[in-house]
Structure 1
Amino acid sequence: MRAAATSSFGPPETLRLTEVAKPLVGTGRVRVRVRVAGVQPVDCKVRAGGTPFARSVTFPLIPGNEFAGVVDGVGEGVTDFSAGDEVLGFGLFGCYAEYVVVPADQIVSKPPSMPWEIAGGFSGNGQGAHMALREMKVCPGDTVLINAAAGGLGTFAVQLARAWGAEKVIGTASEANHGYLRALGAVPVTYGEGLAERIRALAPEGVDAALDAAGEEALRASVEVTKDKDRVVTMVSFAAAQELGLPDWSATRSAARLVELVKLYEEGALTLHIRAAYPLERAADAHRDVGNGHGRGKVVIMVG
């Protein structure tokens, strides 16, 4: 099968179209013919060898941890899915390929109304935002701050906060994305020096919970304006979080979590803007796009 893979850690151009063996289906697992794979910042870090778990991989390495496609085969013991089912799901690696094999409890049915592009980029950032906002204990009446609100994760986080009853959602983004945030239901604010003061102008009594997906500067501003720092969560600035005394947290993706998100999509409470869709042979360009930062919505790879 065709896959976008790298034979060594390095820059985006190490990702090349490669022929690799088609994966076999094992007990309790399903093989999916991938239609679309989502691209996340963590994929870029894995490709560059910039995460601890990346050091344990074997080459050639096929990145990608979210996908949508059609079930191609099922292993012994799988009863909930069969060949021909349209699904979306998640794995650790291997999704930038024509076929991926994952445990059967890592896929859910794709709604007929959900376009393939959205389905392929739905699972990773959607579940990431869900896990973070649960850790932040977002509840009705809250004022919530989302840093990097226009990106893939931020897009989900803004909408989830609104769906869960937040009274006000403040989203940081570059000025070019302020209209986009307003359309999602957030009050936009610009990055940069003086961020804490600009947030206080919008929330004089402080914010109840804050999510950082932008970096250390945004995290420090978030701690400064949030009433209880135990309700501040970062997805990127872990060393700074430790220095600031923020609590450790962890959560895992699950089919149940994904089912909840899909239901919200079907109800019209979630949408996802696809800013770029690259063919498999241009996976390196997809990584460059995501690595540039400050993009609006989601980047996906069209596999088949």
Structure 2
Amino acid sequence: MIIIGFESSCDETGVAVACTERGLLAHALHSQIAMHREYGGVVPELASRDHIQRILPLTAEVLQKAGLAMGDIDAVAYTAGPGLAGALLVGASVAQSFAWARGLPAIPIHHLEGHLLSPLLAQPRPEFPFVALLVSGGHTQLMRVDGVGHYELLGETLDDAAGEAFDKTAKLMGLGYPGGPALSLLAEKGDAARYDLPRPLLHSRDLDFSFSGLKTAVLTRLKSIEKESGPLDSTQQADLAASTEAAIVDVLAAKAIKAMKQTGLKSLVVAGGVGANRHLRAKLQAAMKGLGGEAFFPPLEFCTDNGAMIAFAAAERVKAGLADLSGDSHAFTVHPRWDLQDVCV
């Protein structure tokens, strides 16, 4: 079965085609970073309007890359949530219209399930069961994954997600948008040991996270430095970026390894935008090697939001018998807030 998938939950427009037998066939992505940079963050109305402009040209591009025509598609998938309501409606409307016009089934996909399964697009790919660390701008969760649709929440953030901590700290430091990648790039030049920053909940018995206090600690340190010596020079700025990154990575790694020990599993999957962080990857790979296990990551191009993970997740749900392929109804809704447990078997 050949499935076309649409992703439009926030500020990336993604379209991809996947096959239940052959895997991912083709994908294309447009990022809105350049547009939103002027405003210092995502503007929902502009994001929705840009999705409208991009989604059909990307669809044509993907079909051409895959050597397919519209008539070759057997099902349509789309991100139904969570995300920005207006942005989600663009992808959902196009997908459902496509499905209705051609009499095809439409498969709503949970955005986090797409991220959760995206490391399966890499080689080597992990085998079930595994522990997954979902870490992005809006979510930080640890999940036990026993199969497609079989997800158990082990721990999650109580406030800011790790990606938010990167972005908000970068904004405090005047690094521009998108903040997370800018902070990580600057951190490469800094001394992570120079500034002692808190590691919230690092030694708690549970697997939950908290990052809002770290942002406050960085703000306090910034004010202290400026009071003592004026605006940060380039070395101080790099050192503060490195110290912030180290604090976030330390907490993520410690909690992930604690989850591995508690579950007794040997495979750790890391997904989401922060999963592209070089220091996080290196720390987790070393820690898993010490446990006699292995850490798996999606290809860098699939760490951020993309259509490939949506089309692929739909194909996996079809193979697992978890997708409604009747095509009887094309009524739909989107879910700006949507618990992953709602799509579990």
Q: Does the TM-score normalized on the shorter chain lie above 0.5? A: no
Q: TM-score range by the shorter chain?
A: 0.3 to 0.5
TM-score if structure 2 supplies the norm length? Answer: 0.34
Which has more helix, going by share of residues?
2
> Which structure ranks higher in relative contact order (CA pairs < 8 Å, sequence separation ≥ 6)?
2
